[in-house]
Structure 1
Amino acid sequence: MIKPKQLGQSGQPIPLPVMRTMEPAKMTKRVRMIEACNNRRNTAVHFVVGECGMDAKVIYLWPPMNRSLLPWIMFTALVLVWGSSFILMKHALIAFTAVQIGAARILFAALLTLTFAWPNLKEFRRADIPAFLIVALLGNSIPYLLFPVAVAHVPSGVVGITNSMTPLFTLLFGLLVFGRKLKLLRALGVAVGFVGALILINPLDNHSSVGQNWPYLLLAVLAAACYGVSINTIGDRLKHLSPRAITLFAMLGASVPSVGILLATDFPAQFTGSPEMWSSLAAIAFLGLVGTSLSMVVFNRLIAMTTPLFAASTTYVIPIVALGWGLFFGEELALNHYLGMVTILVGVWMVNRPAK
């Protein structure tokens, strides 16, 4: 509630202290806002700090907008970018190998992350090195290499479906390795999700190209499992660090083997100057700059503005976007792919149900 202006001894109104911010979300974390008008540039607000009330004037230096709409804009951008990643991998395969795509993607992401997160280098601690290596390898290097290999042999839309298993593996490894408790409904959700994976992988027609290449789907499932270990490691060992610091150190750690891979595979020799090469390189750059570095910043901001459950709901839409791109480009899909996707998403929904 906005209090009326108080008058000083001279009879003039006492000016409110000014709190300047470009990030209203962080402001509300530092002090508990009682009531404020969200759509005004300058707003007088009553804050509670400890046990004492305080009036303050908040000046939003960033142009204000409807904050109920902004999370949905961020949500839509994330699912479009991440859902399009798999068809971009297939396009990049025109001029580059699968391992080159994964390694170059990491380098692009590391360079951009370093430009805006370098101040977070001060958060480095030697005790965190083992956890950083796990996140760098299992959260970045290995999945970014496995997904392009799978996309080279299996429709990109189907690979996008396997990526939705990440919450299932996160919960499973949290139980088996990190000792987290598991509710009955979530346990059933994990079981349903893995049944969906079996339906997805098991071909109904062994004579089709998809049916013959189904073992490559196991690589995509393995990549989702790597994500599950990485997420649990971040939550258990690196929660004292800022999201930018985690992203920065993980990318720097993953960039070391990436440089070795690109040199070993003679990556510079691929630069022939052909239009196909440049378009493939543009796809890799988009995967690294937008699909990895910027997307993680937006995702972390989405969690801060809403809830982890809302942010995790991107899992439901990403496979649909990936499948849509696959159909648009004429990829071969089978009935078991649709059945597997629906079953996996039901399992993910059960896992993401809020605990009661």
Structure 2
Amino acid sequence: MNRLAASNDFAQARTTLRDWLSPLELCALAAIWGISFLFMRVAAPEFGPFALVELRLAMGALVLAPFLYRARAQFPLRLWPTLALIGAINSAVPFTLFAWAAERAPAGIGAITSAMTVLFTALVGFLFFGEKIGGRRAVALLSGFAGVAVLAAGKTAGASIGWAVAAGCAAAFLYGVGLNLVRRHLAGLPPAAIAAATLASAALLMLPLAASHWPTQAIGARAWGAALMLGVLCTGLAYVLFYRLVARLGAARTSMVTYLIPLFGVAWAWLLLDEPVTATMAVAGALILGSVALNQRAAQ
């Protein structure tokens, strides 16, 4: 009887710890993915987008390689062309677009546009995969696109950021395509192993571009540190944390991280890079995050 009571107490303690730990880990993941835009802002001007993305992909794949090795029997050769395609759509090209945007606009701009991923996932599912989209989700999409228009029309320090906003939105759209492809073609496979395989495939695809555009000038320690953190922390370790949360909370609850990434991205850039938070960014961010919240409620 005492053993049973002790077992119940232990199980209750684990549940309590999990209930406290999960929100902290969600915030930690949002903070990590939010600061990735700061690291791109620091490293992209010295590396250029192609070399920086190659380093990010390769280091992220190395961190996740043990998950792929453990599940290697589930990844036959015939599956790798699909993995390569998804790696290009979901990693190589959007990472490059965000890095290109980071050379031309504050880090907070990329963080705000990244929140459009949720809306584009719904839109791609409707346009190409026959998913239904009701009136509430249609309003959410319109609100999100209005936020993008407000953001693209703004200026920071007198410079137009329209092309950077367009690049960020294109990256978010590709994320939406990639997520739909993963859902339909890679269902049932271990998610962390999928991430390792697609990152490794994307790294191989990017290698010729990275080699031909490798910087000829010396790279400073600050840029190298930012690139290292971008690959190891913001890509490899962040995916590990993400899939751990999905396993514990489910995909729907874990997706709440989407609301926090822009807030952390803007806050990190303001705190560490002294980038201004403009009224345009605040209005656009409110519209986009509000649309994401409305879309999530409509999807439930």
TM-score, normalising length from structure 2? 0.90
Q: In the alignment, which residue of structure 2 is the partner of 1:311? A: 254
Amino acid at match of 1:177: F
* 1:346, distance to aligned residue in structure 2 (A): 0.7
> Is 1:39 the equivalent of 2:7?
no
Q: Cα RMSD (Å) of the superposition?
A: 2.5
CA separation in 2, counterparts of 1:94 and 1:337?
23
1:234 and 2:178 equivalent?
no
The sequence identity of aligned pairs, in percent, is 26
Residue 169 of structure 2 is aligned to residue 221 of structure 1: yes
Distance 1:285 1:256, change over 3 A: same
Q: Could you say if the C-alpha distance between residues 305 and 185 of structure 1 is closer, same or farther in structure 2, counting changes exceeding 3 Å?
A: same
1:89 and 2:37 correspond: no
Match of 2:20 among 56, 69, 90: 69
Residue pairs, 1:22-33, within 5 angstroms: none
Number of the residue aligned with 2:289: 345
**Aligned equivalent of 1:155, options 85, 102, 106:** 106
Between the aligned partners of 2:85 and 2:142, the Cα distance in structure 1 is: 26
- The answer as to 2:234 corresponding to 1:286 is no
CA 1:180–1:98: 2 relative to 1, 3 Å: same
In the TM superposition, what whole-angstrom CA distance separates every residue of 1:66-94 from its partner, at most 9, and x where no partner exists?
A: 11112112101101100111111111135
Name the SS of the counterpart of 2:10 in structure 1.
Answer: coil
What is the aligned partner in structure 1 of residue 116 from structure 2? 165
Partners of 2:156 and 2:53 in 1: CA distance: 29
> Which residue type is aligned with residue 187 of structure 1?
A
Measured after TM superposition, the shift of residue 116 of structure 1 is 4.2
Aligned 8 A contact 1:128 1:238 in 2: no
1:111, 1:336 → 2: CA distance?
Answer: 39
Given that 2:51 and 2:214 are in contact with CA atoms closer than 8 Å, whether structure 1 keeps it comes out as no
SS of the residue corresponding to residue 181 of structure 1 reads coil
Q: Say whether residues 1:190 and 2:133 are aligned partners.
A: no
> Structure 2: how far apart are the matches of 1:64 and 1:343?
36
Q: Is 1:134–1:230's contact at 8 Å kept on the other side of the alignment? A: no
Residue of structure 1 in register with 2:65 after alignment? 114
Once the two structures are superposed, residues 241-277 of structure 1 have per-residue CA deviations (whole angstroms, 9 ceiling, x without a partner) of: 111221121012111123222321235x55x4xxx62
TM, length-normalised to structure 1? 0.77
Post-superposition offset of 1:127: 4.4
Shift in CA distance, 130/353, structure 1 to aligned 2, threshold 3 Å? farther
| Counterpart mapping for 1:244-323 below 5 A | 244-267=192-215, 269-270=216-217, 272=218, 277-323=220-266
Select the residue among 208, 215, 238 that pairs with 2:158.
Answer: 208
Runs (5+) with no aligned partner, structure 1: 6-14, 17-35, 44-62
> Residues 74 and 38 from structure 1, CA distance in 2 versus in 1: closer, same or farther, beyond 3 angstroms?
farther
- Residues 64 and 175 of structure 1: CA distance in aligned 2, closer, same or farther (over 3 Å): closer
C-alpha separation between the residues in 2 aligned to 1:344 and 1:161? 8
Q: What whole-Å deviation, never above 9, does each CA across 1:176-233 have from its counterpart, x for those lacking one? A: 1111122322222112111111111122x69911xx2322210111000010000011
1:306 CA displacement: 1.1
Deviation at 1:170, TM superposition (A): 0.3
- Residue 158 of structure 2 aligns with an amino acid whose one-letter code is S
Aligned-partner residue type, residue 224 of structure 1: A
Match status 1:128 vs 2:79: yes
CA distance in 1, matches of 2:8, 2:136: 40
Partner SS, residue 69 of structure 1: helix
Q: How many residues align?
A: 297
Return the structure number with greater helix share.
2
Equivalent AA in structure 2 for residue 102 of structure 1: V
Question: Hey, which of these two has a bigger chunk of strand by percent?
Answer: 1
Task: Show the counterpart of 1:49.
Answer: none
Structure 2: 5+ residue stretches without partners: none
Counterpart position of 1:103: 54
